[in-house]
Structure 1
Amino acid sequence: MCTRVLWNDNELAVLAGRTMDWPESTQPLLVAFPAGRERDGGQLGPATLVADNPLRWTTRYATIVATVYGLGGIDGFNERGLAAHGLYLESTDYGPRDPAKPGVHAALWAQYLLDQAADVSEAIALMDDVNVVMAAAHGFDATIHLALEDASGDSAIIEFSHGQPVIHHGRQYTVMTNDPTYDEQLQLLAAQDFSHPGDSMPLAGNASAIDRFQRASYFSSMLPKPQNQRQAVASVMAVMRNVSVPFGAPDDKFGIYDTEYRSISDLTERIYFFELTTSPSIVWVRFDDLDLVAGGPALAVNPYDETLIGDITDRFAAADIAF
């Protein structure tokens, strides 16, 4: 499931929060990749998903991501301040494979855009020349849509319907959850006027994607102007905790899953914050202080390491990452 909230009008920093809601652990690693890495968009671990005309590229930009099942980055940003967040969307339809276009499987879709694009507009332009192909892991299809934002505060939501990308591009697209499609979510939101929130306004309180969309919109519209970066990050994290799904969600019956982690991408200071719901400690990494060497090894840390707390930049170590 999941929720993404972008705060791009606070005059201090561009911040994006997300929750990862899933029926099991996504086995995340926090990984920093240097530029100059070779990738194959047709390979998913040992399996070949795109045998005919796979997309291959050399990464232009260094990135920091949270991985999903070790198969690709699902959340994070790059050195130019472009961030990407992959969220579940059951209605996703990538369409049939078009061998005339290089193919990239869905688990590497977000990583590809982070590797190659400097901002939202460049990421959107890259979509003209690639064909996103379904991937699956642990019995789950990667039917995802992407939220993008950059250090200028620009934003985009990209979904696939009948094989075609449906793109909402503009600073005003700050909240995303899951089904129904983004067009439908916006129509539902239009029925609620959150421009002047008050204590008498009825507010949806369920954990469904529709209710979380409205609740995230409501509370993010109420955030006070921050006095410093610490307050700004805390403000976004407060909203993400509000729209998180507590343990015991009725996943099998309603398709609603517990929140595994929350993250915040600070695209102004280039700091990635990460909070496991099973940990009392939040951790963060200062991207600019990582010792990344172009063409060199990836650096990684396991966020489930219970000794981690606070600034963990110096805990990143060389790692053999398969993708």
Structure 2
Amino acid sequence: MCTRVLWNTDGRYVMAGRTMDWPESTQPTIVAFPRGRDRDGGKVGDIVAIADNPLRWTTRYASLVTTVYGIGTVDGFNEAGLGIHALFLKSTDVGTRDPARPGLQMGLFGQYLLDQAGSVTEALALLDTFQPVMVEAHGRQATIHFALEDVGGDSAIIEFAGGEPVVHHGREYTIMTNDPTYDEQLDLLAKQDFSHPSSDTPLPGNVNPRDRFQRAAYYSALLMPPADRRQAVASVMAIMRNVSVPFGAPYQDFGVYNTEYRTVVDLTEKMYFFELSTSPNVIWIDFDALELGDEPLEINPYDTTLVGDVTARLQPRPVPF
């Protein structure tokens, strides 16, 4: 499931928040990747998912990301100030595999953009150079869509329908949740009248993607200029908590799911904030203070001894992609 909110109207800070909502743990790991890493976009961990013409590349930019199931990237940003967030979208259709085009498994789609692009515009220019290929993990296909933003405040939403990318590009595209498609979500939001906000304004309050989209749009439009970065992060995190899914909340065929974690990316100062729902602590990483050599650094956010600035606690460990 999940929700993404971008705050790009403050004039000082560009920040994006997301929730990860899922029926089980996604086994997240926070990883800092160095430049110059060789990747194979046809592998899912150690498994070869695309034997015919996989996309291969060497990373241009270092990045700081949260992984999913050890096979891909769902959230994070790079040293140039490009951020990405992968969210579930059941209607995703990447089409039939065309071996004439380099293939990229969906779990590495976001990582590829972080590795190779320094802005939203540069990332969108890469879409014609490869074909995304559907893969599966833990019994579910990677039917996902992507939100991008950069340090200049630009934004884009990328979905796939009939094998082709559907792109919404512009600073105004600040909210994303899940099904229905983005066009339909915008139409549903337009039917709401939030022009005179007050404590009596009726808001959609359930956990489905339509309600979360509209609630996030309402509250993000009310954000006030922060006194400092700390207040700016708190403002975005407050919205992410507002659209989080409580434990035990029912959701159609998914049964019961909840928000596993929340993140805030500060693209202006390259800070990454992470809040695990089952931990009492918010942790953060200062990207510029990382001592990043030739090997990835990682940290397990399920370690409940972590609190505050954990930049120095990232350790070099093998990462399967």
TM range (shorter): over 0.9
Give structure 2 stretches of 5+ with no counterpart.
Answer: none
Q: Distance in 2 between matches of 1:202 and 1:124?
A: 37
1:146-174 deviation digits (Å, cap 9, x = unpaired):
00000000000000000000000000000
1:254, distance to aligned residue in structure 2 (A) = 5.7
Aligned to 2:170: 170
1:251, distance to aligned residue in structure 2 (A) = 4.1
Note closer, same or farther for the CA distance 1:180–1:285 as it changes in structure 2 (3 Å cut).
Answer: same
Instruction: Out of 41-50 and 174-183, give the one that drifted further.
Output: 41-50
Aligned to 1:312: 310
Give structure 1 stretches of 5+ with no counterpart.
Answer: none
The letter for the 2-side match of 1:257 is Y
TM-score normalised by L of structure 1: 0.98
Q: CA RMSD in A?
A: 1.0
TM-score normalised by L of structure 2: 0.98
1:11, distance to aligned residue in structure 2 (A) = 1.6
Checking the alignment, whether the CA contact within 8 Å between 2:5 and 2:17 is kept in structure 1 is yes
Q: Distance in 2 between matches of 1:169 and 1:251?
A: 30
The letter for the 2-side match of 1:214 is Q
Q: Distance in 2 between matches of 1:72 and 1:117?
A: 17
Q: Distance in 1 between matches of 2:272 and 2:56?
A: 27
1:36-83 deviation digits (Å, cap 9, x = unpaired):
000000011222111111000000000000000010111000000000
Aligned to 1:203: 203
Aligned to 1:78: 78
SS at 2:126's partner residue?
helix
The letter for the 1-side match of 2:27 is Q
Q: Distance in 1 between matches of 2:71 and 2:206?
A: 32
Note closer, same or farther for the CA distance 1:251–1:203 as it changes in structure 2 (3 Å cut).
Answer: closer
Q: Distance in 2 between matches of 1:193 and 1:155?
A: 24
Checking the alignment, whether the CA contact within 8 Å between 2:248 and 2:256 is kept in structure 1 is no
- Which of the numbers 296, 299, 305 marks the counterpart of 1:298? 296
Q: How does 1:120-159 map to 2 (within 5 A)?
A: 120-159=120-159
SS at 2:61's partner residue?
coil
Instruction: Out of 242-251 and 63-72, give the one that drifted further.
Output: 242-251
Question: Alignment identity in percent?
Answer: 64
The letter for the 2-side match of 1:321 is V
Aligned to 1:65: 65
Q: How does 1:168-247 map to 2 (within 5 A)?
A: 168-247=168-247
Report how many residues are paired: 321
Instruction: Out of 188-197 and 280-289, give the one that drifted further.
Output: 188-197
Checking the alignment, whether the CA contact within 8 Å between 1:146 and 1:158 is kept in structure 2 is yes
Aligned to 2:114: 114
Q: Distance in 2 between matches of 1:139 and 1:253?
A: 14
Q: Distance in 2 between matches of 1:206 and 1:212?
A: 7
Q: Distance in 2 between matches of 1:75 and 1:172?
A: 20
